[in-house]
Amino acid sequence: MSKQAIGVFDSGLGGLTILSALRRRLPNENLIYFGDTANVPYGSKSKDTVTRFSLAIAHFLEEQNVKLIVVACNTASALALGELRKQITVPVMGVIEPGAEKAVRTTQNGKIAVLGTEATVKSRAYPKAVLKRNKHAQVTQQACPLFVPLVEENWAQTPAARLTAETYLESVAKSGADTVILGCTHYPVLKPVIAQILGKKVTLVDSADTLAEAVQTLLIQNGQAALKGKGRLTVFASDDPKRFKRLAGCLLSDKIGAVRLKKLNV
């Protein structure tokens, strides 16, 4: 049994959807969350830039003596996961493989659509992960660059969000996909409006629960699972921690407590 914490990071608020799933499945685990609010969004940035930010955060989490790092950001998972695994000494898990696995298990007609940031879509990380599991699958992608700002500004339930989603989802509806991957950890916040537009015949998939299950399995295999006691949560933001705490309170049903400021040296 290990009470070392699990490190979790994202470009901002989106990774809190992953954090919530981890807290539900692993209530005994200590968790450290880092939101890179100074540099959000990652989706419009280059691979080199995203990798640089991701490595800086991962090294900081290593300094906190974490036993595992969860990259709760699809863009960072798509662009930086390989380099993170080369340079970081603890296991590093991303969100793309669990999301692809769940989509392949879910689809009935073999048609899967991916909603993601521009960088994630350009990387083709999801089509590669899906086709590795089902070579006959048909995968379409749609970049949704305005979704992250809508979530970060707490506009997910506004008419602007509805209009934006309708524009992005037009091509998805035409594709005939019965399964849609929410390929950014911010996007589950927009799940109600996306589901309303696409209808009940389309299943929306995000990787939160699947990833939490994979984390639990790995910790048990490594003999590192915390089996007793209530886990503690520590939260860092790279800019404006008061705003982060306020917006997190709007998005989450559970409280996150104090948010500490930690500026990145990049």
All domains of the chain in start order, with CATH = 6-94+209-261 (3.40.50.1860), 96-207 (3.40.50.1860)
Question: In which order are the strands placed within the sheet that holds 259-261?
Answer: 92-93, 68-71, 6-10, 31-35, 233-237, 259-261
On whether the CB atoms of residues 35 and 244 are closer than 8 A, the answer is: yes
Catalytic site includes residue 144: no
Q: What percent of the chain lies above the pLDDT cut of 90?
A: 92
What's the pLDDT score for residue 222? Answer: 93
Q: What are the binding residues?
A: 10-11, 42-43, 74-75, 185-186
- Per annotation, catalytic residue among 184, 193, 215, 235: 184
What's the pLDDT score for residue 171? Answer: 96
Neighbouring CB atoms inside 10 A of 112's CB total 28
Question: What's the rounded Cα separation, in Å, for the pair 11 and 44?
Answer: 12
Q: Is the pLDDT of residue 1 over 60?
A: no
Catalytic site includes residue 73: yes
Residue 187 is classified by DSSP as: G
Q: What are the binding residues for substrate?
A: 10-11, 42-43, 74-75, 185-186
For the stretch 55-112, pLDDT in tens is 999 999 999 999 999 999 999 999 999 999 999 999 999 999 999 999 999 999 999 9
What's the pLDDT score for residue 255? Answer: 78
- The helix or strand, by DSSP H or E, that contains position 122, with its residue range, turns out to be helix 118-123
- Per annotation, catalytic residue among 18, 73, 103, 193: 73
Neighbouring CB atoms inside 10 A of 86's CB total 9
94: its two tokens: 């991303």
Span 142-153, mean pLDDT? Answer: 95
